[in-house]
Amino acid sequence: MPNDTITFALEGTLTDKDLAESFRRFSELITALTREAGAGASISWTLSALEYGSAQATFKGEVVDHPEQIESVERVARAYVEVGNALQVDRPIPYSESVQRLARRIRQMLDGHIHTARFENVEGEAIVSPQSSTHLGEELISRAYGAAEGRVQTLSTRGTLRFILYDLMHDRAISCYLQEGREEIMRDAWGRLAIVEGLITRDATSGRPLTIRQVSRITRLPEPVGSWRDAMGASPWHLGRMLPEEAIRRLRDAD
């Protein structure tokens, strides 16, 4: 799967001015990184997905007039997350003074209202908080195989293997990345409620899923017939029988 998209996401309460300013700073950083890591290629970064309910935008890179030349785009996408990782743990940013300054300007946007910024590409992500995770003494991201439930959505049809799962619990977009050759598991999933399995990255504080990579399975939820009311009395209690809490307690105490 080509590493040709970058996602910038902010968490917190944003005003219109915050949004405009943060994306301006993001854009300046990408311009500088394209110049340095893109080896002189003229790369155009086009908006490929914008998630409502989150300040999250994804851009797909293409070398102007030579879309087949993916290497320069991939170098910039990797450099972008590398910069995020350096900010995350307060490591020196391995690029020019100009890139370092622009990257720090993004961190300066993070205050009480905007909690974190996420730098994401197809391969990985970094979460930047006002203080580095070294200072916080804790990991900001947790990774494990698992599943998340939500609605499969995306605004991107630009040939990427990325899609969005709209998380029902947290009401936020989760970036999901299919592996190349696994496109068939997406069949009939668009717009449907589904459980997506894969390697899940979560915000280590809230537990909210951020990304799902190596998506291994997408199980569509069946269309429901009826309502929760049908469950009432589905297996009635009889006088003299074990109380519900006794039945559950017996099960748990048998552990």
Partner 1 sequence: MPTNPPRVYWDADVLLSLINGYPERVPIIVAALTEAEKDNPPYELITSTLSIAEVAYAEEERTGRALSEEAEARIARLWHPRSSPIKLIEVYRLITEEAARLIRTLAVPNGWRLTPRDAIHLASAKLLEATEFQTYDEKLDKFAEGLGLDIVRPHVLQPVLVAPIDPEGVDESSGAEGSGNVPA
Would you tell me which residues interact with partner 1 (CB under 8 A)?
Answer: 13-14, 53-54, 142, 144, 146-149, 168-169, 171, 193, 200, 202, 204, 206-207, 221-239, 241-245, 247-253, 255
Nearer of residues 110 and 148 to partner 1, judged by Cβ? 148
Give the CA distances from residue 30 to residues 73, 221, 230, in Å, rounded to whole numbers and listed in that order: 11, 39, 54
In the complex with partner 1, the residue whose CB is nearer, 72 or 211, is: 211
Identity of the residue, 107 or 170, whose beta carbon is nearer to partner 1 in the bound complex: 170
Q: How far is the CB of 10 from partner 1 (least distance, A)?
A: 11
User: Min. distance of Cβ 118 from partner 1 in angstroms?
Assistant: 16
Nearer to partner 1, 181 or 227 (CB): 227
Letter string b/e over residues 193-223, b meaning 16 or more CB atoms within 10 A of that residue's CB:
bbebbbebbbbbbeebbbbbbebeebeeeee
Q: How far is CA 108 from the centre of its chain?
A: 22
- Residue 228 vs residues 67, 234, 238: alpha-carbon distances, Å: 51, 11, 21
Q: Least distance to partner 1 from the beta carbon of 42, Å? A: 36
Closest separation between CB of residue 11 and partner 1, Å? 10
Q: Hey, how many other C-beta atoms are within 10 angstroms of the C-beta on 136?
A: 13
Q: Shortest approach of partner 1 to residue 59 CB, angstroms?
A: 22
User: CB of residue 233 vs partner 1: minimum separation in angstroms?
Assistant: 3
B/e letters for 33-68, b = 16+ CB within 10 Å, e = fewer, are bbbbbbeebebebeebbebeebbbbbbbbbbeeeee
Is the Cβ of residue 78 or residue 172 nearer to partner 1 in the bound state?
172
Type of residue found at 141: I
Rounded CA gap, 201 and 207, in Å? 9
Nearer to partner 1, 96 or 206 (CB): 206
